[in-house]
Amino acid sequence: MKTGDTVRLVKERLNIVDMVRRYVELKRNGTRWVAPCPFHPETKPSFSVNEELGVFYCFGCQASGDIFTFYSRINGLDFKETLEQLALEAGVSPGRSPVANDRRHEEKSDTHRSARQQMLRMHQIAAAHFTTELKGNGGAECRDYIKRRGLNDEIAEHFGLGWAGREWDSLTKRLRRAGFSEQVAVGANLLSKSAKGAVYDRFRGRLVFPIKNLAGQVIAFGGRIIRDEDEAKYINSADTPIYKKGEHIFGLPQARKNITSVGTALLTEGYMDVVTLHQFGYGNAVGVLGTALTPEQVKRISGFTSRVTMLFDGDRAGRKAALRGCEMLLARGLDCSVVVFPDGEDIDSFLRKEGTGAFDELLRNAVDGLKYCITLLKSRAPREAVEWARNFLRSVEIPELLSPYLSKLAGNLQLSENVLRENLADWHGQNQSKHRTLPPNTHEKKPSRQNMRDRQILMFAVRYPARLHDLRAMGADMLLQSAIAKKTWKNLAEWGEDAHHHLEDAEKNFWLLCRGPHAPPRDNGDRELELLRNQLDAYYDCAQKSSVFVALSSNTSTGDFDSDLDYLRALQKTLEKKHE
């Protein structure tokens, strides 16, 4: 099956609104769905999805495209990877006839899929293996541990908890029976290899927490020991082609509906904290994955809510993590607060001792994020506080927040606003200019004639890529001068209607301008081509006129009057044609 056919089938079977909802809280607005944009920091609903046309557009950052563009950009994938994943979800086999719910075909094609698809399949098998082990005779000790922690069967099933037995090769054998090579399984971080080359299970003797992406696919695992042993309390999957721990959030697939309903996310540090909170009815809880909060995780959360309450431990490490978390959330424009637990208490112990009523009171009394930062900074040396404040202000992504943040920091830390403002304007000016993305041919305040001509040619080419032969017959492709115009033309010639999947962001913006929901209907290509032909004919006439003048000027010093007459006759014909 051709790529274009696969793309068409995926679009027919997958709904762009359903896809975007996995990452963003959409609200109906007439014929469109709107939300704050997940691709740039903001709180206004400038991000729009047109379900009928199958496209999205942001009026703030001009991000635009179809379901493929959205999925690839939100997950950091290239077009090939996006096509593979969405085709698999839609039941379409790239390069083959459409396949839906054919288990035998799926098993046979496992060995022919990309390494990424093989890893996804292996993680699916591993998750099923761990849950089966938990329910079997060998999982009794883990079931006892889960019971002691006060977790019921429903919550264990909700999160897909499992048991990695103490055998060295239980999962190894299971993956081998499924037809996967040990080398690929080691690359997927499910198995490990000793110095002598022996392969063994990475997770052994641990309660296993599957980590899922927002598409519901298992992409990694976390494992916790269940009795006192001379081992690390937790081990986590390392980064693989399908998993980057700094980009995902534990429990987000399970919590996203509650987050959008409640309007707030509870952010914790560990797996067990998240599961415990859900057990007690706090279904909007999520957790970071064995690392400090990252910009990518903040971006993920901000797609569902603009309010985050952090529940970190009260020890030194927890306070440091909360400070960094506040800094990142506030810089992106989110409303954040921090729950301060009594000494010696954490989420699990507090909930079990005091109950949900007392816990709700803690949530109501959560400290405002900036106030929490200021309180911690007051205990530090003035020089350290100034350095933190300056670095924080430099990281603020929404210019309108700079002034109120600066005033609060200066007033509460007893610092001069001028001290904090030092070099701040220059920093933000350079930073904004460095990251600004401009659409094609807007790099100049007033586009040159050449840029306008490139734009006119590409506008028709993008609207009617099947008619590039007409443009070539007019010599339009030979007139393109800018690098971006030539690159766009090349993609159109190679990919046709699917070219937008291979364009850069600025080029995609131009594509949507020509083909998006606000573009004129593409129902009069002959007329549009005729208008472009007239424009190019006018250019050819002007170009010929100019060339005659240049030739005549350079020839006058030679004394060749016969040549002068030839040039003048050519000029006369050009002017007569122009007059007509």
Q: What is the 3-state secondary structure (H, E, C) of 354-383?
A: HHHHHHHHHHHCCEEHHHHHHHHHHCCCHH
Residue 106 forms part of a structural domain = no
* Total domains present in the chain: 5
Residue 108 forms part of a structural domain = no
Please choose, from the candidates 185, 14, 43, the residue with its C-alpha nearest in 3D space to the C-alpha of residue 34: 43
C-alpha 517/C-alpha 171 separation (Å) is 50
Same domain, 349 and 457: no
- Using DSSP, state whether 290 is helix, strand or coil: coil
Please choose, from the candidates 430, 424, 384, 385, the residue with its C-alpha nearest in 3D space to the C-alpha of residue 401: 424
211: left (phi over 0), alpha (psi -120 to 50) or beta: beta
Please choose, from the candidates 23, 8, 4, 26, the residue with its C-alpha nearest in 3D space to the C-alpha of residue 90: 8
Measured CA distances, 170 to 19, 202, 246 (Å): 36, 10, 29
Helix (H) or strand (E) holding 345: none
Q: For residue 74, what are the domain limits?
A: 3-101
**How many other C-beta atoms lie within 10 A of the C-beta of residue 559?**
8
- DSSP assignment of 12-36 equals HHS-HHHHHHTTS--EEETTEEEE-
pTM over cut 0.75: no
Contact 210, 289 (CB under 8 A): no
Token pair, residue 163, equals 């048991």
Same domain, 200 and 187: yes
Measured CA distances, 495 to 6, 72, 480, 517 (Å): 13, 18, 19, 22
C-alpha 577/C-alpha 531 separation (Å) is 17
Same domain, 142 and 234: yes
Residue 230 forms part of a structural domain = yes
Contact 28, 35 (CB under 8 A): no
Token pair, residue 201, equals 């299970």
Query: Positive or negative, the Cα torsion across 326, 327, 328, 333?
Result: positive
C-alpha 288/C-alpha 356 separation (Å) is 23
- Using DSSP, state whether 316 is helix, strand or coil: helix
Residue 488 forms part of a structural domain = yes
Contact 373, 331 (CB under 8 A): no
- Using DSSP, state whether 352 is helix, strand or coil: helix
Residue 443 forms part of a structural domain = no
- Using DSSP, state whether 222 is helix, strand or coil: strand
At which of 81, 101, 121 does a domain end?
101
The residues facing 28 across adjacent strands are 33
What is the pLDDT, as a whole number, of residue 289?
81
Helix (H) or strand (E) holding 191: strand 191-193
C-alpha 525/C-alpha 255 separation (Å) is 49
Which residue type is seen at 280? F
Same domain, 176 and 263: no
Q: What are phi and psi of 428, to 5 degrees?
A: -70, -35
54: left (phi over 0), alpha (psi -120 to 50) or beta: left
**How many other C-beta atoms lie within 10 A of the C-beta of residue 36?**
22
Same domain, 358 and 398: no
Same domain, 184 and 285: no
What is the pLDDT, as a whole number, of residue 39?
79
Contact 185, 122 (CB under 8 A): yes
Q: What are phi and psi of 294, to 5 degrees?
A: -115, 160
**Which residue stretches of 111-225 are H helix?**
115-135, 140-148, 153-158, 170-177, 182-187
Same domain, 360 and 391: no
Please choose, from the candidates 123, 259, 124, the residue with its C-alpha nearest in 3D space to the C-alpha of residue 191: 123
Residue 514 forms part of a structural domain = yes
Query: Positive or negative, the Cα torsion across 183, 187, 189, 193?
Result: positive
Spatial neighbors of 149 by CB under 8 A, at least 6 apart, are 272, 276, 348
- DSSP assignment of 474-522 equals TTHHHH--SHHHHHHHHHHHHHGGGGGGGS-HHHHHHHHHHHSTTSPPS
Same domain, 461 and 569: yes
**Number of helices followed by number of strands (H, E) in the chain:** 27, 16
Spatial neighbors of 478 by CB under 8 A, at least 6 apart, are none
CATH classification at residue 226: 3.90.980.10
Query: Positive or negative, the Cα torsion across 539, 541, 546, 548?
Result: positive
Residue 441 forms part of a structural domain = no
Long-range contacts of 538-546 (CB under 8 A, 24+ apart): 539/453, 539/479, 541/574, 541/577, 541/578, 542/578, 544/570, 544/574, 545/571, 545/574, 545/575, 545/578
At which of 204, 227, 243 does a domain end?
243
Same domain, 208 and 127: yes
**How many other C-beta atoms lie within 10 A of the C-beta of residue 308?**
26
Same domain, 568 and 492: yes
What is the pLDDT, as a whole number, of residue 97?
45
At which of 243, 266, 295 does a domain end?
243
- Using DSSP, state whether 130 is helix, strand or coil: helix
Same domain, 183 and 151: yes
Residue 442 forms part of a structural domain = no
pLDDT tens for the chain, 580 residues long, are: 677 788 888 888 899 999 998 888 888 887 788 888 887 766 778 888 988 878 888 877 777 888 988 888 887 677 887 888 888 888 876 654 444 444 444 444 444 346 778 888 999 999 999 999 999 999 999 999 999 999 999 999 999 999 999 999 999 999 999 999 899 899 999 999 988 889 999 999 999 999 998 878 899 999 999 987 778 889 999 999 889 888 889 999 899 888 877 889 999 988 999 999 999 999 999 999 867 888 888 888 887 888 999 998 877 888 888 999 999 999 988 899 999 888 788 898 899 999 999 999 999 999 999 999 999 988 888 888 888 888 898 888 887 788 888 888 888 888 778 877 765 655 555 554 444 333 344 343 444 555 778 888 888 888 888 888 888 887 788 778 788 888 888 888 888 887 877 777 677 778 877 877 667 788 888 888 888 888 877 776 665 555 445 444 444 444 445 545 554 555 555 445 444 4
CATH classification at residue 269: 3.40.1360.10
C-alpha 448/C-alpha 432 separation (Å) is 25
Measured CA distances, 3 to 8, 15, 497 (Å): 9, 19, 10
* Radius of gyration from C-alpha coordinates of the chain: 30
Which residue type is seen at 511? W
Sort strands 27-29 and 307-311 into parallel, antiparallel or unpaired: unpaired
Same domain, 178 and 239: yes
C-alpha 114/C-alpha 357 separation (Å) is 51
